[in-house]
Structure 1
Amino acid sequence: MSEKRELPVLGADAADLESDCSKCFGLCCVALPFEASSDFAVGKAAGTPCTNLRDDFRCGIHHRLRERGFSGCTVFDCFGAGQKVSQVTFGGRHWRESPGVARRMFEVFPAMRQLHELLRYLAEALAWPQARAIRGELRRAYDDLDGLTRGSAEEITGADVAVIRQQVNGLLLRTSELVRADIPGRKKNHRGADLIGARMHGARLRGASLRGAYLIGADLSGADLRSADVIGADFRDTDVCGADLTDCLFLTQAQLNAAKGDAATRIPSALVRPGHWSLSGVG
């Protein structure tokens, strides 16, 4: 496993955008629903604690999630929303204290998770030198959004997340275009494309747009994905063995965790090589 490095964040604490389960009250294990499937061995309703959640708010099978049939948990990332809701919004009060606290926490958490995801993308956008022309707009958007996440439960649940996401996405798209403009040649556009199971071994996708693309089960082994925009792309079971993901735009740890890579897969320095990836690899 490679050494974990902090995401370069201009003027912000990177730790705020990384999940810290030790400061969270197991919100993802309670507030969110999931159905029995290949990702979850059993299903549960929203607001119902997972059977694996312990009294200390820790997962009882954290190191055996995949082998116990809970691979879906390993590809979820709250981007620090859990500890923000637990420690800031509710000041350390947890959902086991009273039904009223529980209901409000479970309403706030999904909204906070979306807001923190946007903060994470804005933080990365601020770190790209090519985005200096719009850095002021990015900075204002980040500060406004960060301020909202530190507001009251009512302010957070009352926010129109869809509108905020649309506004932020416009800035992220402009950032992507500025960064990818530095890549010579014509860039491929697979935005929102259905590439499920596609055979793209060794594909030249440097600077390509894969925004929102469905890459489930696709073969991208040995592909060149340097500086490709992969925001929202579905990497479940995508073969990235030997692929070069260096400097991918908006690639998250959850996307890496969902993919299948090996020791030869090149990843951004801010992310960690998943422990379940193969240790073999060429070159």
Structure 2
Amino acid sequence: MRKIIIFISVLVVCSSCISRLVRPALSGTIVDFNGNPIDSCLVGETVTDHNGTFYLKEIRKNYFFITELLVMEAPPLFVREQISKANYTTTVFENFNSRGGGAKKGTHWKLDTLHLKKEHFKIDTTFLSQKWKVAATKNLDSLYIIKSNFMELCKLQHCSRIYDEYYKYSSDSYYNQSKNLPDSIVQKIIELDLSTTHSLAATKIIQYGDKTGKSTIRKANDTLTTIGKWNFKDDLLLFNSNFDELNGKYAVQENNYEYLLVTKVDE
């Protein structure tokens, strides 16, 4: 009788299921670049209301307990939801977590505000008049310009690609080794403030270090500041300052709410 009870118990355990997360509940608000809510915007399988808000239900899937026990770890979680509306650029929200599938029931990601770009959007001085961070290529022919709070703002498909490029050109450590910065300089951060009166203020922070990872010698950071002028005219971004990185005419090659990619135009 005891053996029968043990057998039945084992059978129940082996045939029981464990719940895994396929997609957490997602909520947020879709707006245009001016902060106006976008209604009837398709987000995954739902649409936004007149306030631009949306809610996607949590999705879970049951797996056999014994197979999950053999794996000994929670499965990865990859969330991908398309965001689209006529006359706007289609984009995607993406997020990956190597152990996210083990999250508890009721998991809810609040995405806050997501900005959707209108087709044929035109940059103007109002859009540009704010605080940015700048990374320049080695020969200064291209600038990656991201908003100062880029990591907080950017949650869509293009974000990781743009930030990877920005990081590559602003950091050159033993681990990165992009070889974009001069010897002994491991990081160069440029903070840029563009005012509505077309004046600019910029701070350049230069961090020194050993790129081989062998030396522990430290040199104090250099902090440089400058003021100058800027404008946006005839689809060109114009800088006039004492920083080599912020001097000349630049054509906008790519842009979104959180960033600009510009290339230098020969005088």
Structure having the larger proportion of residues in strand: 2
Structure 1 or 2: larger helix share?
1
